[in-house]
Structure 1
């Protein structure tokens, strides 16, 4: 496999994609959905190979969970393809237009980014999500999944290419780095002549490696150190439910709660039952001294490192605070600017939290687990960016385009 040839082919075909109609792009997506349903058994067979190899390598339960393609997740991939097909096509949309005194009409129109490289670990459903968004937004895509999902990714890419070819969409626009050689990633990151942007999706180590080695722009998602703050004006029934869901429903994902903050005014009423719920669910709790006072035999002492930790497991840091300001300061100091929530019935406190917490997604009275492109109605996502340039939060279809200035004249020249 020649990495430069892959990138070059993607670049060459990218210039053709802007002329492909929305109808053709939608047909590709819907045909891919049909093929995934038809080839479900083949997909499960290839995924099983990856799971067996992953178990032999000693992958963690969280990694194996991300790798798994069961019936529910295969149906989810099919639904993603239908959802993206149903979205409005952003390509060619004129965002605004204005007229200058000299008669020039100036506007901004959405165009594709060009060639999008995505480097991701474990989750093979990312192959379908990323490719579907790139197809609909008329971008060429280079897919580089992790070695642990090579068989799953390979069969999914073949399905996507088959769907593209059957509907008159250039299959060269869907490029796959069919290798487990890690050096291929470093080579890919040097090809800024062909690749317009790269998106790493995985652990912090991968993202830092990409950010440090890439010569093209990188849209980053570092850690998901997400918080839920139980305010002194919280409805405790809501708080128990929200905090339990945010930690336990799926702990190995980036939008799961890693630290729970509790106002001292409600700690006595809230924490004993909450700790009991977590204990029953098998959650290890690492707490401050005031938290430990409620269950000294169960809650372990928290260290400074625990406030920064993304556990991706049934482990939770808990801290009792004396004010909303203290909670906000903690989140802005230790958090990763991903997703954070407040549980409160006080409008002023809710809005202060919303405005002052410096994160991509901020919630009032809801679980952080909702931070997801599909859940937000974006059809799918390329990842969840914690950057502040180009896009922040779930990166959807529209975020794979960029404005181009378009100018209409009638012979004007500049004096």
Structure 2
């Protein structure tokens, strides 16, 4: 959770600086406009940020050579979050500074978080955006990281090995790199030579957190990378074309202990007892989260969020569910339907079902008609029937995440010299 007094990540208050001004020297052609299965590389990440309900504004930083082509691309589709296409600088840090200046001059206090992303990474997904915002809210700055599997050696000036580095302490860093404005703006110094934007925060002694990257989130640098990207798209398209769905089940139960309120489905229920648990004890959301994780083949709630971990003590189970869905989305799946049953003798829960449906729909950003919550009792049989506890069971249906979304009406887009 973020420290007291800093912004959280529950609103659409994030701005994106999308970097597309590189020279593409090793690629030999402008990779931003290079077509990948019929679409420009830049459009893949642009579409993801446009779709994210966390993002309110996007500034694209382009080169002099591709600026007008990128503006035409934006104008040909309904990318209404793109407020400007500005010129980049000679170095990465200059381009970042230009984008941040434009973003803040246009949107000012409405932006609490800044995401800086390489347009040459087409496969950023909404789950990464969510994870990055949560980590940046806590640390001030955060970067997506992957463990290093190869042995890494440092090399002396004469080309011989200096030493073998401990790879358990090494991470490969990706983008988007995510920052709270109050941390990044004062740290951003274009005079410094850097290879990524988090280095600015490191140079002033700031904390940079890590969040899980995605192995598909590759950077297109050489022609071989294009082949890798096409293979990723082919794999995803084949899985989607098969109409593949997955189903998972989840179950959870907790004892009732004295003192309210009772928490179910993210809703406070008037009752003299509450559910005992390491978190808030919300058995319904726990069962749903386990069902979602199980359908994706990602274990269960306990293996992903251990009850012995103090980080989850007293946590709102809505956040646990959101994290479970983010992990699932990172694996290429999205929730398409939920069916769940609450098993309780007391209190009477039927009057709360609509509120619970609405709460879960809001938590997961899915239609309320994709959720079906039922309540039943055991007719006074067993511990639940004696009022000693409440249980819930759930079935989750997952579908392959779509790669593309439909384009809409054209609109004008302003470039930096207009």
TM-score range, shorter chain: under 0.3
Greater share of residues in helix: 1
**Bigger share in strand:** 2
Report 1 or 2 for greater relative contact order, CA contacts < 8 Å, sequence distance ≥ 6: 1
